[in-house]
Each structure stands twice: as C-alpha cells, then as structure tokens.
Amino acid sequence: MLRSFSWPILQVKKMVDNNSGGEADNFDWDTEDDLEIDNYAISAPSGLSTPCGEAVLGSAEAGSSGNSPNSKIIDHFVGMGFSREMVAKVVEEKGEENSDLILEALLEYSASTLPSSSNSKLIDHFVGMGFSEEMVVKVVQENGEGNTDSILETLLTYSALETTASVQQNPDSGNCSSDYEGSLLNDFSDFDSFSESEEIMSPSSEEGRKLLHLTKMGYSEAEASVVMERCGPDSTIEELTDFIRAAQIAKAADALFPLEDKPFSNGSSHKKRRNWGYDLLLRKKKLKLEKRFDEDDDAVHLPNPMIGFGVPNEPDQITNRVLPEAALGPPYFYYENVALAPKGVWTTISRFLYDVEPEFVDSKFFCAAARKRGYVHNLPIDNRFPLLPFPPRTIHEAFPLTRKWWPSWDTRTKLNCLQTCIASARLTDKIRKALEDSDGEPPLGIQKFVLEQCRKWNLVWVGRNKVAPLEPDEVEMLLGFPRNHTRGGGISRTDRYKSLGNSFQIDTVAYHFSVLKDKFPGGINLLSLFSGIGGAEVALHQLGIPLKNVVAVEIAEVNRNILRSWWEQTNQRGTLTDIQDVQELNGDRLEQLIKNFGGFDLVVGGSPCNNLTGSNRYHRDGLEGKDSALFFDFCRILDLVKCIMNGTKSMIV
DNA sequence: TCTAGAATGATTATGTCG
DNA sequence: CGACATAATCATTCTAGA
C-alpha cells in the first residue's frame, strides 16, 4: 500500500465557461514526478485489501506484571518511560481510575523536572530519543543546556540534513519513488527494523491489524509498535486508541504524523525511547519543519468554479475517473468537510482516504446559499441526477416576499455560507438607524458598510431599512431539510442554528448519492458517522433509496433526538441504531453489527470542522485540533469495516 | 448556576493596480 | 511580478440577565 501524492490524472472536458469566464481545468492533481523527496518509507502492510480474520481480542489475560490493578497501571506508565517513583506518586494523587489525568500529570512533571537535570542526564535524554551521542553533545554545547527547545530544533535540523544526504546515496531503496512521505527527521537509530518481525506486519495476524489501524490513526508503524508493546500484547485496539487519545488530551499528540514513517534503521531497539512526552514534542517540531518545507509543491488547488466533477446545468462534467485500488468498495464511503481548510489539510485527508481526489463543490449551484465543501468518496460519478423539484436557486426565489424591501444597491443573488451563529439584534438595529438617517438613496459609505455586514452575517431584507438574520426554518429550507426538521422536542433556537449550521446541504449530497439508487433497489445499510441531524439519511430518503439498517453515531443528544424523531415521522421500515461516540465504536461492536445484517453498503461522515474553518478565531488548529482530529476515527472505522467485511466475505468463499 | 446574546480576527484565496 | 485591497468563513469566549 503506497501512500502516493499522485492523484489520478483527470480528463477535463474543456468547454467555454458561460459563467465567470474562468478556466475549467484548474485541477492540479498530476504531480507525479514533482515530488522526488529524499526519503523512503516503510511500506505499509497490505492489509487493506486482504482479509484480516478476527477483529479484536478481548483482554481477558492479565498482564505479566503483578496481580493488583494498581501495580498493573503503574507498570503501564513505567513502560512508557516514566520513573516508577513518579508514577506511583501520581497514581496515588489522581487515583488509578483516570488514566488521562495520570498521563497528563506525568507529562507535566517530566517537563518541569527536566531543566533541572544534570548535563549528562540531558544528553542521555536526547540520546534516548535516537540522536547520536556525538551530535547531542555538540548541540548541547552550542545551545546551552537551558533551552531544550532550541536543542531539539537544532538536532532535528542536523539529522534531517544527514538523512537527506544518506538517502540520496541510496536511490534504489524501495518502490516508493513517487511517494512523498515528507520526513525531515529520519535518523532514528532507535526505530526497529521491521524486516526482523515479519509476522507483526502480516495483515492476517492480530498484531498486524492493530498496527495497521494505529498507523491509520496517525502513528508511524514504529510508533504504533511502541504503543502496542507498551500496552501489552493482549491490549485491544480500543485500549490502544484510548492510550493515544490520552496522549492527545494531554495536548501532546499530533495525529498528523503517520505520514512521515521512519526509514528502516539498523540495530537497536525502540526500548531506548524513554519519554513519551518528548517523543511527542519531537513530532510537533517535525510538523513545523515539514510545513515550512513542503508548503509550495503540494497545495491542493480549489476548482473555479467550484463544481467538483460536475453539477446540474453546468457544462463541465467529468463522468469517469480512476480510483486507486485501495479505495474501491465495498463499502462505498463518503467523507465531507470544509473546503477552505488550512493549508495541507486536504492533502492529508486525501492521503488518509486512499489518495482519492477530493471533490470540491459549492452548494450555491444547488440552492440559494453558498456552502464550499470538499467530499472524498469512492462513488461512481456517471449518471448522477438531482433531486426534483429543484429548490429555489436565488435569494429572490427563496424569499419572494422580501423582494419589495430589497434595495437596488444590494445586488446579491446568493447567500453566503449558513453558519452556526446569527447576527446580533444590536447590529441589525444599528443598520436600520444608519439607513433611516438618510432619506432616499443612502450615501455610498453607508451602502458599503451595510452590504459588508449583510454579506458577513447573511442578512435579508424584511422591511423598509430593516434587515434580519434567517429564521431557523428558512435555514432548514435552504439546506434541503423538511420544514421543522429541527423544531420541537426541547431544542432551543440557538441549538437549531448550531445543528443546522453543521449539517450537509441535502441537494448537493443527494446528487452525489443518486448513483446508488440503481445499485441498491432493495435498500441500503448505512453507517453514518457524525450523523448530526441526519443529512445523509434525509438525502437517501429523498432519493427514494430505502434505508434498511442505519447505524448513526452522534455525540449530541439533541441531534440524536432529531434524527430519531424524523425516523418515526417518516415511517421508516428499517432499523435505526444510535451510538453516542465514535470512540466507542470498536472492532467488536462493528463486527457484531456487520454480522447482524451482512455489512454496510455506505459509510458516510462529515467529521468536526471547527478546528479547520476560518470562522474559528481561537482554535483553528487544523487536523490536529481537539475535535477535528476525530477525522482519524472516521479512517479507523472505515478501515475496520473494510477489514471485517472483506474478512467475512473470504470466509464465506 | 445557567443560558442566550453579544463581541471577538486570522487565514486563505483572489482581484487590482502600478 | 509584488504590494495592496477585497472577500469568505459547518466558531469560541465573554457577559449580562434570569
């Protein structure tokens, strides 16, 4: 399984664009030879396309270390590289129940104790991280032992340079010439050579599958194996991911790092790695370096106009594409998120989803509001058809009664993206006052101000000199939901805006799903992750595709209630299963579900965007953000489904 | 304490002008 | 081509009032 940056080359029909005069072939996916980066990566196991047997082991056996749970948990953290003394102290303080808290405290402690440690201890520490003693001594002398950050940075730079040089001398070292795995930091003498442990990498083995899943969650094979070793051979995937989650909670993990798998290195064991916290710090640093490095070459270019593979009534249509082998179903999958994410995010998303090229579509081609989103899916793209009747496509069609209040100088025909918050009453009042001050045509300055605010807050004219935010039911209509879909059942107005703002645009998604209608005349089994208010379910239902078994995973209770209520209102004949948290959806649970009704036909999910969207002033942290990192759970679950389904199938055959 | 409302820029991409 | 302007954006935090 190669993680290549080269997406399949598309043939775009060049036609005259009747709209904005832009070029239609703005895609830039054929980066095949652009990226000969001096690095080679471990070939990931080919488990994706292979059956993988039993899903998850139960951890019936106690660990080899002692009988009391207390000593077991202490051993656990000692295995991560913390001193037994410190662990015992923290466990006593925090209790042994909450491993998240313990880990957090341990990381804090070890960070705070380090600066006071002796010179030799410091050197030892960095050597333990995999740098050569010689290099560490030199760098510590250069930087002084006070600033561990700059020491680390310098070490990273040095080892990157070394690696680059050494790899360039060995160009024949693998079949990954078109791969860019982007690591600047490869000289980890403490990473095991995996050739010596073939059975671990075998997808048919338990360890191989766990490893695969962990790598998909954002860890390199080497790191995943470290985690597995530290958590014990009997640990379930759930436990392993819990471990990772704990690290993430401790603000220490970037789920972004699987892309930089370490090269094979000789000899020494990863047991040398002593401190998990520094390990993670290391990866942070690496991210920075990498970002600086590869920003230019690899940008995902958004199409203009943003019509993806095509939208109804537009001339440029792409009707076939070649999907990477690993991406092929079953099941079909469909992933959605904001198009205007921070740089590099979509490259990562695509890479994690089998290098499928994202389809960027603005929902303004389907309704009266913009909604720029990227969709990564393995659905066919020929013979799509839209939901009929078409929803209103302009503001005036959507709100005919407001037309008489619309001033001539507000020339908007489409609304901007429907968000989760609305304008304050104070703002609309301010606008009214500003307009009332001038009779007749307001001065250009006022016009400009008002228009700017109207665009920013999606205001509509509801009276003379009077603008207002959209009502929740108007948002429902624009997004293609049935009226009052989110109304009642104890949900507040604020929460309605929030739930709607986080949802799919039904017509857009339905257009993509429409190709499934012929394929599943008897209905489909759907796994709906981050299902929210049920955009996927509603879209399929509107298309007339029966819903047989739906498993919907959604964290917010109000949203689960909305979906459940819709399910009953529409007299669905299938079964709806809700699950609260994607993180509790493990292999066992999935296997059980899949056994019950024979597999999922479609896996859909739009993972949290709040760390990606420009609206977020505070924590636009990218895919490593607290919530947006749940993207990796989408990958994890999709992989599990693939594995279990392929395994089941081959067992039947 | 709880909640709804109000206040709070930055990161991208793209267009314009010299 | 580069400096500058324009434009869009599935949100979080603070705070006043119940």
Determine phi and psi for A28, rounding to 5 degrees.
-135, 60
Give tens-digit pLDDT for A27-63: 333 333 333 322 333 233 333 333 333 333 333 333 3
Instruction: Please give the Cα distance from A128 to A241 (Å, whole number).
Output: 25
Residues 6 or more apart whose CB falls under 8 angstroms from that of A638 comprise A331, A333, A353, A603
Taking Cα atoms as reference points, which of A262, A294, A279 lies closest to residue A39? A262
Topology of the domain covering A330-390+481-652: Rossmann fold (3.40.50)
Question: Which nucleotide C1' is nearest A616 CA?
Answer: C11
Name the residue closest to C11, CA to C1'.
A616
Listed by range, residues with Cβ under 7 angstroms from strand C are A 336-340, 370-373, 416-417, 419-421, 452, 455-456, 498, 501-503, 530, 606-610, 612-619, 627
Q: Which residue has the higher pLDDT, A100 or A385?
A: A385
pLDDT per residue as tens digits for the range A336-389: 999 999 999 999 999 999 999 999 999 999 999 999 999 999 999 999 999 999
- Of A139-153, A245-259, A533-547, the range with the lowest mean pLDDT is A245-259
Query: Taking the complete model, does pTM exceed 0.85, yes or no?
Result: no
Sheet holding A372-377, edge to edge: A359-362, A372-377, A332-338, A602-606, A524-529, A547-553, A575-579
- Rounded distance, CA A633 to CA A57, Å? 19
Distance A389 CA to B14 C1' (A): 34
Which two three-digit tokens encode residue A81?
């590289």
**Gap from A473 CA to B4 C1', Å:** 19
- Report whether pLDDT(A432) > 70: yes
Q: Which residues of A are catalytic, by number?
A: 609
Residue A622 parent element (H or E):
none
> CB within 8 A of A525, min separation 6: which ones?
A548, A549, A550, A597, A598, A599, A600, A601, A602
Which amino acid is located at A322 in the chain? V
pLDDT digits 0-9 by tens, A132-156: 767 767 766 666 665 655 566 566 5
The closest alpha carbon to A458, from A445, A446, A471, belongs to A471
Give percent of chain A above pLDDT 90: 51
Residue nearest to nucleotide B4 (CA to C1'): A494
Nearest nucleotide (C1') to the CA of residue A609? C10
Q: How many CB atoms lie within 10 A of CB A429?
A: 12
Q: pLDDT at position A94, please?
A: 62
Mapping DSSP to helix (H, G, I), strand (E, B) and coil, where does residue A89 land?
helix
Looking at residue A564, its amino acid is: R
- In this structure, the dihedral spanned by the alpha carbons of residues A432, A436, A439 and A445, taken in order and rounded to 10 degrees, is -60
Among A90-94, A198-202, A283-287, A498-502, where is mean pLDDT lowest? A198-202
User: Which positions on strand C lie below 7 Å from a protein C-beta?
Assistant: 7-13
Domain ranges for chain A: 47-294, 330-390+481-652, 395-479
CB A351 within 8 A of CB A5: yes
Protein CA at A568 to nucleotide C1' at C6, angstroms: 48
Count CB-CB contacts under 10 A for residue A156: 20
| Composition of chain A by helix, strand, coil, percent to 5 | 45, 10, 45
Q: How far apart are CA A476 and CA A473, in angstroms?
A: 5
* A630: helix, strand or coil: helix
Ranking A133-147, A499-513, A535-549 by mean pLDDT, the lowest is: A133-147
